[in-house]
Amino acid sequence: MLSSVLLVGLLHLSGCDGDAPVEPPKPPPEVPVGPEKLDIAALSAAAVNVALVPSPAEMQRALEKNGIATGLSGMVTAKVLKMDVENKDVIAVRTGVALADALLTVKDAPPETLTGRLNTVKAGMAALGGGSDIAATIDDINARVVNNSVSRDDLVKELDEMHGAIIPEIKFEAGERAVPLIQAGSWLEGSNLVSSAIINANNTTAGTELLRQPQVADYFIKYVSVEGEGKAPDEVLKQLQGTLTRLKEIASKPALTLEDVKEVKSQTDAVLALL
């Protein structure tokens, strides 16, 4: 009897009478979004740089919006970018250059030229330890280019996605430096072509609007200037560091002159010539 009373009491206390609804857990109170002005030092310290760098395709569109109709695709030159070298940093920069060239010429390059550029990207990715997925993706794209079974407009989207969404998320065996240095190569090639187009058009306003990116140069300098333990600086990386430092100085000016744009071209030419 006593045990029955206790059992009924316990069931009552615990609310397990079979009828009382079980309340779902209350959602936590909403946290208000930050103030209208934030401390810039705190912003900078907390910021991640994955979205900092404009893509080569974006550079091309910005060029058109600044009234320079010359497409960058016709200015891309044939390059032999060797990936069988020891220095992974150099491979990453070369891979970025090849990727930029593929992106900028995807609409109108002959199939063998486009697949050649994509195979260079694939070789770079393999040398950096980018895994088999990206290689399979490039093989698939190349097969469709050769079979003419994909429109160039769709290819633009696929390469855009590869550049902006797939490659930045890859965990390279070569380490965390690989992604920013690939981006550096693409940005360098894009900046070189943009500066050429601006010089040809003699449009200094476009120079100010398109080449004033001191924080992008600064971001790359941080990676290029960090040497591996006991590793002698490579000639390419030394030149790249010097170029980026000078580009940062130029880009920090409130307005760029035609001479500044010419220097951007000569500085980027110097790095690209070493690749």
Partner 1 sequence: MLSALLFAAALAPAHADEASAEACLKTKIWEGYNQGWAVRTATNATLAQGEHRIYLVTLYAGTEYKIMVCGDDGIVNADIVLYDSLGNEVMKDTAQDREPVVSYKAGSTDTYYVAVHATKLKEAGGKAGLATAVTYK
Residues that bind partner 1 (CB under 8 A): 25-28, 30-40, 43-44, 46-55, 57-58, 61-62, 65-66, 156-157, 160-161, 164-165, 168-169, 208-210, 212-213, 215-216
Instruction: Please report, in angstroms and rounded to a whole number, the separation of the first and last CA atoms in the chain.
Output: 92
Smallest separation (angstroms) from partner 1 to the CB of 102: 15
Nearer to partner 1 among residue 112 and residue 176 (C-beta): 176
Nearer to partner 1 among residue 50 and residue 143 (C-beta): 50
Smallest separation (angstroms) from partner 1 to the CB of 66: 7
Nearer to partner 1 among residue 181 and residue 237 (C-beta): 181
Instruction: Give the span between the Cα atoms of 139 and 168, in whole angstroms.
Output: 19
* 236 contacts 90 by C-beta, under 8 angstroms: yes
Instruction: Give the span between the Cα atoms of 223 and 180, in whole angstroms.
Output: 7
Instruction: Quote the Cα angle for 130-135-139, to 5°.
Output: 165
Smallest separation (angstroms) from partner 1 to the CB of 112: 26
Closest CA to 197 of 80, 74, 68, 90: 68
Nearer to partner 1 among residue 83 and residue 251 (C-beta): 251
Residues 6+ apart with CB under 8 A from 18: none
- Tokens representing 36? 């209208």
Smallest separation (angstroms) from partner 1 to the CB of 235: 29
Smallest separation (angstroms) from partner 1 to the CB of 238: 26
Nearer to partner 1 among residue 13 and residue 40 (C-beta): 40
| Burial 156-177, CB ≥16 within 10 A → b, else e | eebbbebbbeebeebebebeeb
